[in-house]
C-alpha cells in the first residue's frame, strides 16, 4: 500500500504587502500591511513599536477598503468590521514585524531548539532516550518540525517560492519538501499550530 500523494503546496490566505520601519529615537515604529485573499477588497494595517528589543502592540489597527474589479471599494459597515478575523490577522502581522525581511533562511531563532520544543509540546510521550524506536520517531518528528518552521517562516517573509527556498537550503527537491510538509501535517504539525508557535513571544533557549 502506497502513501497518498503529497498535498499541493498550500496557498497562504494572507499576503504581507509591506513592512515599513521608521526609526524613532532609540525605538522603531513598525507598520505591517496585510491582504486577505478570502476577503477581496480589504486591506488591514497593524502598527507596532519596537522598544528595548521588545515588540510592543499593536498600538493601532486600520482596515481599509480597496477598489475591486469594478473600481469601487466595499462599504465597511459595523457588521462587517465586527466579523473580521482580527486576531488571526494580528498573529501573522506580529510574526512579520518580528522577523522582517529575511535573507535566505538565516533566521534569528535556533530552528533546531524550536523544533524540539514544538515536538515536546505536541508529542510529550515521545522520548528519544527510550530506545531505538523512540529515538527514531524523535528524529523523524523533529526533522518534520524543522522543515515546517523553515517553510512557514519563508512563506511569511515574502518569498514567493517558499518550497524551493527551503529545498535549496536542505539540498533536496521541492517535491521532497512538499512531501515532508504533508507528513508533518499528518503528525499534527499543522499550519495553525506552527503559526501560533512562531507568533508566541520568543523564549530563551539553553545550549546545554
Average pLDDT over residues 22-31: 86
Positions of E strands within 27-149: 27-36, 42-51, 54-65
Residue 142 — very low, low, confident or very high, per pLDDT cuts 50/70/90?
very high
In this prediction, what percent of the chain has a pLDDT beyond 70? 73
Where in the chain are the domains?
A: 14-99, 111-198
Q: What is the pLDDT of residue 73?
A: 64
Q: Write out the three cell numbers for 208.
A: 546545554
* Residues across the chain: 208
Of residues 166, 167, 172, the one with CA closest to residue 153: 166
CB 150 within 8 A of CB 168: no
pTM for the whole structure: 0.49
Does 74 score more than 80 pLDDT?
no
CA angle (97, 102, 103) in 5-degree steps: 165
- Angle (CA) 33-36-40 rounded to 5° is 115
Predicted pLDDT at 44: 92
CA 133 – CA 41 distance, rounded (Å): 51
Mean of pLDDT values over 122-140: 91
Amino acid at each position: 500500500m502506497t502513501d497518498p500523494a503529497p498535498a499541493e503546496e498550500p496557498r497562504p490566505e494572507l499576503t504581507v504587502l509591506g513592512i515599513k520601519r521608521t526609526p524613532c529615537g532609540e525605538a522603531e515604529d513598525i507598520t505591517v500591511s496585510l491582504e486577505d485573499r478570502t476577503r477581496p477588497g480589504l486591506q488591514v494595517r497593524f502598527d507596532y513599536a519596537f522598544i528595548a528589543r521588545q515588540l510592543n502592540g499593536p498600538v493601532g489597527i486600520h482596515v481599509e477598503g480597496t477598489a475591486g474589479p469594478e473600481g469601487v471599494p466595499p462599504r465597511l459597515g459595523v457588521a462587517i468590521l465586527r466579523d473580521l478575523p482580527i486576531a488571526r490577522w494580528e498573529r501573522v502581522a506580529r510574526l512579520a514585524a518580528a522577523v522582517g525581511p529575511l535573507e535566505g533562511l538565516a533566521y534569528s531563532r535556533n530552528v533546531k531548539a524550536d523544533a524540539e520544543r514544538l515536538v515536546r509540546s505536541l508529542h510529550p510521550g515521545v522520548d528519544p532516550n527510550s530506545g531505538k524506536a523512540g529515538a527514531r520517531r524523535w528524529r523523524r518528528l523533529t526533522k518534520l518540525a524543522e522543515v515546517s518552521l523553515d517553510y512557514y517562516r519563508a512563506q511569511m517573509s515574502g518569498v514567493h517560492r517558499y518550497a524551493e527556498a527551503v529545498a535549496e537550503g536542505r539540498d533536496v527537491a521541492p517535491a521532497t519538501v512538499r512531501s515532508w510538509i504533508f507528513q508533518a501535517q499528518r503528525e499534527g504539525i499543522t499550519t495553525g499550530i506552527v503559526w501560533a508557535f512562531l507568533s508566541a513571544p520568543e523564549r530563551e533557549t539553553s545550549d546545554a
